[in-house]
Every structure is written in structure tokens, then in C-alpha cells.
Amino acid sequence: MGSLTLDYLSCTFERAKELDYQYVGVQIEIDGFVKPEIIINQVDNFESLLAYYKKTFKKNLNHKYIKGKRISAVTFGNSFSEIERYLLG
């Protein structure tokens, strides 16, 4: 995996769409939580969700407004289980 940045996140969404994947999975860590949050985004929402992530997270994928919240991993796949295997391995 490349360096985890906003550019990398953007490339992941673009690549998933180019390769006809159905989902992009985003892992978010929050200070004080035992396990990460996993968000699975559907292909039809890629464009608007990427715009949201760009507006809400810094280049280093730390949340702009909530200290201790950050995107820690991202992947794409065609099933929830495929996303889960990669993110929670």
C-alpha cells in the first residue's frame, strides 16, 4: 500500500471505479475506541463521498474537526467480506 494520504484515498476511489468494483471500504480509528469503525461505500456514491472525505479530512487523513479521529486504511472490493478480510485481516 502507498502512503496513506488524501491523494491515496482519492486514487483508491478512482481505481475502484475504473476496475468496476462495487465498494470502497474505509477504516476509521477514533482515540478511546477499542476497534476501528468500518464504512463501506457503494459505487453509486463514490463521487459524493469522495467530495465529503476531501472536505472533512486533512491531507494526512486526520479529521479536520474531531481530534483523534483518522482514516487508517482503505481498500476496494466486490463484497463486504472481501473488504472485511483486507481491513480486519
- Which pLDDT tens digit goes with each residue over 54-67? 999 999 999 999 99
Q: What is the pLDDT of residues 38-89, one digit of tens each?
A: 999 999 999 999 999 999 999 999 999 999 999 999 999 999 999 999 998 8
Does some domain include residue 73?
yes
Work out the angle at residue 76's Cα, subtended by the Cα atoms of residues 15 and 85, and round it to the nearest 5 degrees.
155
What is the pTM for the complete model shown?
0.92
Does some domain include residue 1?
no
Distance, CA of 5 to CA of 58 (rounded, Å): 8
Q: How many domains, in total, are found in the chain? A: 1
Q: What is the pLDDT of residue 2?
A: 52
For the chain, the C-alpha Rg in angstroms (whole number) is 12
Range of the domain at 56: 6-88
C-alpha distances in angstroms, 79 versus 4, 6, 50, 52, 69? 23, 24, 20, 23, 26
